[in-house]
Amino acid sequence: GRLEAVTQQMGYHPQYLDSFLKTQHYLMHMDGPLPFDCRHYIAIMAAARHHCRYLVNLHVLQFLQAGGDPQWLRGLDYIPPKLRNLNEINKILAHRPWLITKEHIEKLLKISEWSWSLAELVHAVVLLAHCHALASFVFGCGCEQDEGLGGRGSLKALSPGNQCFCEATAGNGCGQELLRINRKRSLDSCMELDSLRERMQRIHVETDGREEMRLLQQDREEGKGAAVPHLDSSAGLSPPADPDGEVTGATNLACYMQDPDFGYQDFARRDENQTQVFRVQDYSWEDHGFSLVNRLYSDIGHLLDEKFRMVDGLQSTAMAKRQGCEPSVFKRGIWNYIHCMFGIRYDDYDYAEVNQLLERVLKVYIKTVTCYPEKTNAEMFDRFWKQFKHSEKVHVNLLILEARMQAELLYALQAITQYMI
């Protein structure tokens, strides 16, 4: 039941929630190429790229419940080389997916003791994209600050008013059943969670102690005195800060990352050429990505496709009315703007429409949540169309989630396709 803050927000759009829960359940809990503990560890690695404590803590608990080795939670140095080798594409997909190439795929698939199979790699790629995009939603809707998961900061957890979450999913069998199962699991395992938290705390204390000693030794050598490790804010990787400006939990999540200074950079449109820009006409989800992912990881393509279609079918009449256009036109403007930030272009779209449809405040919000979600703050959310219903703001965050996930998948699946040719 630890995903409640996320599912409460998605509960404003119960049909989408049902589709999301089916996909999430299939990725994490149904038959697939990857062991269950590895799935949750990959989710930890993905969420850590954006300092998303909410998702990291969620999957740490589920990793231990799945029988995962607690030593792995000490950081990437303590996991099998096969998993650690996934770090490079995790980093690239999270921040600059246009840099992924068939050489990255080949390196993981090459014949060796630690090689990946194609099916395993596709499962891992979908997990990475899913968790990167979900981190954007978590920060965009304020779920990161759920106190039950140790969140700290100025952005408060949001709630769906008086709407009962069970009622929100009524009529959507899968969503209702999964919520019932999640609640039962939560009740059945409440005592076990106390034990898991104690184990987590011991692991983090040990990790923090070693990190402090390393930093003190480094400071002595450099003669600079004790200091908090600096993360380049321009790279979009500054950890959340509390109201007093204290950096929170950077070292805990740093153990799950390598190259923490690697972050999003604006796609170089001024240097645009045929090799840099991703043309959807040449490689699309509908014509290429869907069939490849479904062939290598049975049925996941159908679930993802349903989710993409579901978010496209959500109504946003009030938002569109304000801009004086049809809902479909408004949603396409947001979707194409997000893809444009990742270097994905549609030849049949006039990008001048984006500036006409999306106000500057909205564009800043979308870019922040999409590209460096950990920098999202309460002021951005409050300034983002104050007069609109909360459900409409959630809708925008769902568009961000799905557009970002599809962008990452397109780059990764294209690279896999190029390797297979």
Question: Known catalytic residues?
Answer: 52
Contacts of 202 (CB under 8 A, 6+ apart): none
Give the side-chain half-sphere CA count within 13 A for 57.
24
* Local structure of residue 75 (DSSP, 8 states): -
Whole-angstrom distance, CA of residue 138 vs CA of residue 54: 8
State both tokens at 413. 């699946």
| Residue 210 CB-density burial (10 A; 0-12 exposed, 13-18 middle, 19+ buried) | middle
* Burial call 133-147: b when 16+ CB within 10 Å, e when fewer: bbbbbbbbbbbbbbe
Q: Is residue 17 a contact partner of residue 168, using CB atoms and an 8 Å limit?
A: yes
Nearest to 130 by CA among 401, 341, 417: 401
Q: Is residue 412 a contact partner of residue 317, using CB atoms and an 8 Å limit?
A: no
What DSSP string describes 263-321? ------GGG--TTTSEETTTS-IIIIIHHHHHHHSTTHHHHHHHHHHHHHHS--HHHHH
Tokens 């950990």: give the residue.
374
Which amino acid is present at 243? P
- Residue 247: strand, helix, or coil: strand
